[in-house]
Amino acid sequence: MKTIGLIFGTRPEAVKFAPIIKALQEDPRFTPVLISTGQHREMLDSTLAEFGITPDLDLRVMRDKQTLSQVTHRILEGISDGDHLAGMDAVMVHGDTASTLAGALAALHQQIPIIHVEAGLRSGNNLSPYPEEVNRKLVGQIAALHLAPTMGNSANLIREGIPENRIVVTGNTIVDALEWGLQNLGSYGDAALEDLDDDPRRVIVATSHRRESLGQPMREIAGALFDIAQDPGVRIVVPLHLNPLVRSIMLPILSGLDNVTIVDPLPYLSFCRLLVRSDIILSDSSGAEEEGPALGKPTLVLRDITERQESILTGSSRLVSRSRPHIVAQVRHLLDDEDAYREMAEAINPYGDGCATQRTVAAVAHFFGRGPAVMPFVPGAEPVRVAA
């Protein structure tokens, strides 16, 4: 039996790790040990509770007004102290957060093999997203097994000199998590949304939180939402990030508009329900870039570049930058042109088929010589949809 430490600290990591954690817990070949850094405290705890997951170790590293260097240092120190990784056969990290980088470094320092889930994503710009692009590139250089969501991610790793036999294309487990979520939907999680199912208007879900969106770019986004809200036939729902820098821009511009509903960040299952109800998703969130295509929801990405180019290529999402007039024009195009809307809604979902967890566990088993090689995920010619 192999002991695998899974290190995570943010809500997106928890969502994408949850199916893997459940599968490893049920597999007699593995003993998973769950290490939470607490990088996103409130949102992480509630998400883990929704999935019924309890960490074996909670480092609780977050402090007010920490710098990136401070939080990364605290995570690395917290994991390394106390021999928390003693006896591990491998350490699994996900994506590109401070928890990912610090967890991988802690494993490297103890010469423990690193398994990198969601490996190989590249925007080509070290400052966008920042610091995520650099974090995942650094982890890519020290990981022993790279679990890439797509063939394009695999190609990125190969170009960087990673041997092909250390890469497995699995699909993204966010699709697996979404399938589970849609089978367990509850309420919308906020009284202001309880009339949503009876509202005949087109629903636009809008979120923005990225570091590179702060300041003038976010003012452009807020201004675009204000302009779109002048159409009485739409209702805009904004789950507003808790970051005061986000709220100080969004609230003065959007508060008081009759067809703009501003709510606090929603529980995961409530957010799934909101996405199902939506007609258009407008977001700079990486999760939304993957969830939108899986649900057949046209997704407009509030960024200039993205590491998730696959959905741009298939047409299920579109880069619209953070320019107020451009955002408004792209939303109006989808609202006014039924053919354009249908083309995006029916495009191929390139991110998964609901079997990424199965491939992930099989790849880990093969890595340890406990199972056969894994057939890679390849999107089919027909859209793969997650249905509620």
Q: Which residues are known catalytic residues?
A: 96, 118, 132, 209, 211, 241
d(CA 218, CA 322): 7
Do residues 178 and 291 touch, judged by C-beta distance below 8 A?
A: yes
Do residues 177 and 19 touch, judged by C-beta distance below 8 A?
A: yes
E strand segments, the chain = 2-8, 30-36, 57-58, 90-94, 114-117, 145-148, 167-169, 202-207, 234-239, 260-263, 280-283, 299-301, 317-319
Identify the bridge partners of residue 204 per DSSP, sorted by sequence position: 236, 280
Is there a cis peptide before residue 129, judged by omega within 30 degrees of 0? yes
Residue indicated by tokens 């390394």: 80
What does each C-alpha distance from 287 to 81, 104, 164, 281 come to in angstroms?
A: 32, 22, 27, 11
> Token digits for 145?
């097994």
Residue 76 phi, psi dihedral angles, 5° rounding: -60, -45
- Which residues are CB-neighbours of 292 under 8 A, at least 6 positions away? 275, 281, 283, 298, 299, 311, 316, 317
d(CA 267, CA 346): 28
Eight-state DSSP code of residue 300: E
Helix (H, G, I), strand (E, B) or coil at 348: coil
Is 230 buried (19+), middle (13-18) or exposed (0-12) by CB count in 10 A?
exposed
Residue indicated by tokens 């320019």: 323
Residue indicated by tokens 């590293």: 61
Distance between start and end Cα atoms, the chain: 37
